Structure 1
Amino acid sequence: MDKFLLLFLLLGAFPLVFFQAQATVCMVCKSFKNGHCLIGKGNCTVDSGPGCRTRNFFSFTDTGKWSYYHTELDCSDTCISHTVYVETVKIATYCCKDQDFCNRYQGKLVNRNTQ
């Protein structure tokens, strides 16, 4: 009888052990430019919630264009992809959780001036 109870408990716990949601590992960087982390390089882990966050910062120039300044990379449980304008600063936020380090190259921009 004890063998059947043990087998039942093991089979009941099997899905919990092997089918748990995997955590996502994200790149952390306070100042990311030209494909390199200049300040605050590291990693973070998101167990639940949206995942890895990328925030691109732009400043409004005298020529009437947005100029890329730098990117911040981190983890966020409440990340929402959106763009915010605060006076002469634009912050474009992107979120991902599809694979580890999915925010790794998001700060590498080809076109530094956008309208």
Structure 2
Amino acid sequence: MDKMFLLGLILFCLLQGEESKFAKKKEVLCSTCERFKQGKCMKNEGTCITKAKNGCRSQSVYEYAGNTTGFVFSHAKMECVEKCEEKTVYLAWYRLINACCSDFNLCNLGYSLA
């Protein structure tokens, strides 16, 4: 009896703070918007549900406005994605900055880096 209790206590301590591989990962509801600017969605507002291990992304889009101005914020795009990476992507006339979350429902709602 004491051995079973001790074994259970050890397993509990080992799994504490980490997700058990047997535990089901929760799904998260994300905000979607193709063009978010000035605090509101301008195009295709909605929601999506992520599958386990995925998350919500807010991608800020900056457009090149010339040598003196540089890159200027254009809009943000919000969506569900697989394997979201927080990174900056440089293209010829655009700069894309990704912000990811999966902490709670609608965690990317209205989130933009500008």
- TM, length-normalised to structure 2: 0.73
Partner of 1:47: 51
CA RMSD of aligned residues (A): 1.5
Contact (CA 8 Å) 1:52, 1:96: kept in 2 or not? yes
Aligned partner of 1:102 in structure 2 is 107
Q: Give the structure 2 partner of residue 24 of structure 1.
A: 28
TM-aligned CA deviation for residue 66 of structure 1: 1.4
Structure 1: 5+ residue stretches without partners: 1-18, 110-115
In 2, the alpha carbon distance for the partners of 1:79 and 1:42 equals 19
Point out where structure 2 has 5 or more consecutive residues left out of the alignment.
1-22
Q: Determine which of 77, 80, 83 is the counterpart of 1:78.
A: 83
- Give 1:54's aligned amino acid: S
- In structure 2, what is the equivalent of residue 33 of structure 1? 37
Any conservation in 2 of the 1:33–1:108 contact (CA below 8 Å)? no
1:75-113 deviation digits (Å, cap 9, x = unpaired): 00121110001102100011100111110121273xxxx
- After TM superposition, give the deviation of residue 49 of structure 1 in Å: 2.1
Bigger share in strand: 1
Secondary structure at the counterpart of residue 71 of structure 1: strand
**Identical amino acids, percent of aligned pairs:** 25
The one-letter amino acid of 2:24's match is Q
